[in-house]
């Protein structure tokens, strides 16, 4: 019998974990592979929530997270730790995901050990070095180190071709986030169990739910100040019509700003990060999503929820083209007007609230496995 192919999957933050989970499951269930998981734990609590939800036990855990960590600190701790793991394990392939600092450090560590690299969610680009920061550069640098580019869409494939990546190294597979989302939503969940009775009863579920997330590094400071101020003013203005729910990112900088600027509105609920299962449930109950997250620009359209994106540029133009997402920037007035317009204009809302899924059919992980079977 042929030797099993040894694949090391590396991730470290919440979104990478959600998007790698389907692939971990598919590879671990397949006897042609020996699939191991190494986490940097660039995120700790938010990563552990996903590991629990998908029942993944890492083979290696570098536990690098520190409060207020700098980019250089994460990079150097992750790079050192991952190189040692790769040197010890000698995998046939290292798989990294997306555009975080863990992604880049994982690909670089693999290169130093001359292990082939597969990049899942390859080819996303804004063309702007600082937006998002540092993700645009992380994914470009990772692309330079990659042998197998798993592009979620044709647009991503075209981006890679334009940069000179050989055609036979690029595979359009869809995004594994759709696998994760569809598997999770189909399980359903009891929201009250996760939100707690107090929070659950403080929300008027008859009103329109606006689900908010916001954490990006380039939005820290003034942009986040303007975003939160605009949402506070709007929540006061439309108090009888909307409830805003914001599961706050664990970053203390983000939480302080949110509490200071939005804490006083009775219809804004600042809650802890939710496990993926209740979060997906909340997304499917919401009227609209307001976010600077990458992953939610992919998930919300699949659930037929309009997304207003708190950014000036996006590397996910497909949802905008499909008519379910709009960029509203980060300035007070554009955020205020952008959300208000959608909440008060029924026809525009109806046009945006259709299910569109440019990001795959929910079987991306299986396609990636099949490509690996053929090419490794």
Which residues of this chain interact with ligand UD1, rule CB under 6 A?
A: 13-15, 42-46, 65, 67-69, 71, 74, 99-101, 134-135, 215, 217, 250-252
The catalytic site residues sit at 99, 121, 135, 215, 217, 249
Residue 214: both structure tokens together: 């916001």
Closer of 226 and 275 to ligand UDP (Cβ): 275
C-beta separation of 297 from 320 below 8 A: no
Of 175, 173, 176, 111, nearest to 142 by C-alpha is 111
Give whichever of 133 and 349 is closer to ligand UD1, judged by the CB atom. 133
Smallest gap from Cβ 121 to ligand UDP, in A, equals 10
Cα separations (Å) of 316 from 150, 158, 244?
15, 13, 24
Q: What tokens appear for 230 in the block?
A: 């605009």
Instruction: Identify what 366 binds: ligand UD1, ligand UDP, none; CB under 5 to 8 Å per kind.
Output: none
Helix (H) or strand (E) holding 61: strand 60-61
Return d(Cα 39, Cα 53) in angstroms, integer. 16
Q: Which of ligand UD1, ligand UDP, none has residue 247 at its interface (CB below 5 to 8 Å by kind)?
A: ligand UDP
**In the complex, minimum distance from the CB of residue 54 to ligand UDP, in angstroms, rounded to a whole number:** 11
| Beta sheet of 5-11, edge-to-edge order | 60-61, 33-39, 5-11, 93-97, 117-120, 148-151, 170-172
Q: Rounded to the nearest whole angstrom, what is the least distance from the CB of residue 125 to ligand UDP in the complex? A: 15
d(CA 96, CA 107): 7
Q: How far apart are CA 364 and CA 197, in angstroms?
A: 37
Instruction: Compute the least distance from the CB of residue 324 to ligand UDP, in Å.
Output: 16
Tell me how far apart the terminal alpha carbons of the chain are, to the nearest angstrom: 16
Shortest Cβ 119–ligand UDP spacing (Å):
16
- Residue 213 contact among ligand UD1, ligand UDP, none, beta carbon within 5 to 8 Å by kind: ligand UDP
279 touches which of ligand UD1, ligand UDP, none (CB within 5 to 8 A by kind)?
A: ligand UDP
CB nearer to ligand UD1: pick between 61 and 99: 99
Q: Which residues bind ligand UDP (CB under 6 A)?
A: 14-15, 18, 213, 215, 247, 273-274, 276, 279, 293-296, 299
Q: Which does 304 bind (CB under 5 to 8 A by kind): ligand UDP, ligand UD1, none?
A: none
């Amino acid at each position: 019998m042929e030797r099993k192919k040894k694949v090391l999957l590396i991730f470290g933050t919440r979104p990478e974990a959600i998007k790698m989970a389907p692939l971990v499951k598919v590879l671990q269930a397949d006897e042609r592979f020996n699939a191991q998981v190494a986490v940097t734990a660039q995120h700790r609590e938010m990563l552990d929530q996903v590991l629990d939800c998908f029942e993944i036990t890492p083979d290696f855990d570098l536990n690098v997270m520190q409060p207020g960590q700098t980019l250089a600190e994460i990079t150097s701790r992750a790079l050192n730790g991952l190189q040692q793991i790769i040197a010890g394990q000698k995998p046939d392939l290292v798989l990294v995901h997306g555009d975080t600092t863990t992604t880049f450090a994982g690909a670089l560590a693999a290169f130093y050990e001359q292990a082939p690299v597969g990049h899942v969610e390859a080819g996303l680009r804004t063309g702007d070095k600082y937006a998002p920061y540092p993700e645009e550069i992380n994914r470009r640098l990772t692309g330079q180190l990659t042998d197998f580019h798993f592009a979620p869409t044709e647009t991503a494939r075209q981006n890679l071709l334009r940069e000179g990546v050989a055609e036979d190294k690029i595979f359009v597979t869809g995004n594994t986030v759709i696998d994760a989302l569809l598997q999770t939503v189909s399980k359903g969940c009891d929201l009250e169990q996760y939100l707690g009775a107090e929070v659950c009863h403080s929300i008027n579920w008859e009103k329109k739910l606006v689900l908010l997330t916001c954490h990006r590094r380039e939005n820290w400071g003034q942009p986040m100040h303007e975003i939160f101020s605009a949402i506070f003013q709007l929540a006061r203005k439309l108090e009888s019509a909307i409830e805003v729910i914001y599961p706050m990112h664990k970053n203390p900088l983000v939480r302080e700003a949110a509490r200071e600027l939005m804490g006083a509105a009775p219809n804004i609920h600042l809650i802890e990060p939710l496990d993926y299962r209740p979060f997906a449930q909340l997304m499917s109950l919401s009227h609209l999503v307001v976010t600077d997250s990458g992953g939610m620009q992919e998930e919300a359209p699949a659930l037929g929820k309009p997304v207003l994106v708190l950014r000036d540029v996006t590397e996910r133009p497909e949802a905008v083209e499909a008519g379910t997402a709009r960029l509203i920037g980060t300035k007070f007035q554009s955020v205020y007007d952008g959300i208000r317009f959608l909440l008060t204009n029924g026809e525009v809302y109806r046009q945006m609230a259709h299910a569109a899924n440019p990001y795959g059919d929910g079987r991306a992980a299986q396609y990636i496995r099949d490509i690996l079977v053929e090419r490794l």
